[in-house]
Amino acid sequence: QSALTQPPSASGSPGQSVTISCTGTSSDFGGYNYVSWYQQHPGRAPKLMLFEVSKRPSGVPDRFSGSKSGNTASLTVSGLQAEDEADYYCCSYAGSNRFVFGVGTKVTVL
Amino acid sequence: EVQLVESGGGLVQPGGSLRLSCAASGFTFSSYWMIWVRQAPGKGLEWVAKIKQDGSEKYYVDSVKGRFTLSRDNAKKSLYLQMNSLRAEDTAVYYCAREGLGATPDYWGQGTLVTVSS
């Protein structure tokens, strides 16, 4: 099972928006809407930011939004803040009770 | 408050074995699928294995099949990962996670480092 494709890096100035893509094959995303996004700061455990493509867990700011079209999912962070600087990983259900993560994208706040 | 605390990591020689544990609290452990995810140093996340609420179903990533065994003790609210025939490429921080919202890992422990080296 190959990792999902993400750009290695993305950046934006405070207040701007940044969008990260996550691309897989039809067998990765299939017809499922079980795509989630995680934020990971250095030395810390990942934190769930979005699940089922665009749903936010309690406590996650609405600056974080998600979408999916075909075999590509996207995470958009609007109104960038310094604390948004982190690694972001997508994750998709890949069938047969298995999941696959993306390779990760480092977001830098300029 | 949901808490997951991993233990059992350490340095082991290639071919050796290690047993990781994960102690859960703050939620009804027996109601959730549980997952292990690992992260090699400086690398991305890799889904490793998951186990059903009653332990009757287990799924593994191909690279660990036949070497790793997942189990749980609902009375002790604990999850275990028995790792045998360890290889250098198994070196990673191993995270215990709960499968919750959207059938995805929603709560994670802080991880335990496994280093396979001679």
The pLDDT-based confidence of A98 (bands split at 50, 70, 90) is confident
Cβ–Cβ under 8 Å, residues B17 and B69 = no
- Residues of chain B contacting residue A89, judged by C-beta atoms under 8 Å apart: 44-45
pLDDT for the residue numbered A32: 78
Q: What is the DSSP code (8-state) at residue B53?
A: T
Residues in B lying within 8 Å of A, measured between beta carbons: 37, 44-47, 50, 57, 59, 61-62, 95, 101-111
Is a pLDDT exceeding 70 seen at residue A1? no
Average confidence (pLDDT) over B55-64: 95
B108:A46 CB<8 A = yes
Instruction: Dig out the tokens for A9 from the structure.
Output: 């890096």
List, in sequence order, every residue forming a beta bridge with B114; answer none if it has no partner. B10, B92
**Token pair 């990942």: residue:** A46
Closest residue of chain B to A52, computed from CA coordinates: B102
A82 touches chain B (CB under 8 A): no
Compute the nearest-CA separation of A16 from chain B (Å).
26
**Cα distance between residue B63 and residue A8, in whole Å:** 24
How many A×B Cβ pairs under 8 Å?
Answer: 66
- Residues of chain B contacting residue A96, judged by C-beta atoms under 8 Å apart: 59
A 10 A CB-CB count for B11 gives 13
**Cα distance between residue A61 and residue A49, in whole Å:** 9
Which helix (H) or strand (E) covers residue A29, if one does? helix A26-29
B78-114 tens-digit pLDDT: 999 999 999 999 999 999 999 988 888 999 999 999 9
Q: Is B62 helix (H, G, I), strand (E, B) or coil?
A: helix
B11-52 tens-digit pLDDT: 999 999 999 999 999 999 999 999 999 999 999 999 999 999
Q: How far is CA B80 from CA A54, B7, B53, B61, B110, in A?
A: 32, 10, 13, 16, 15
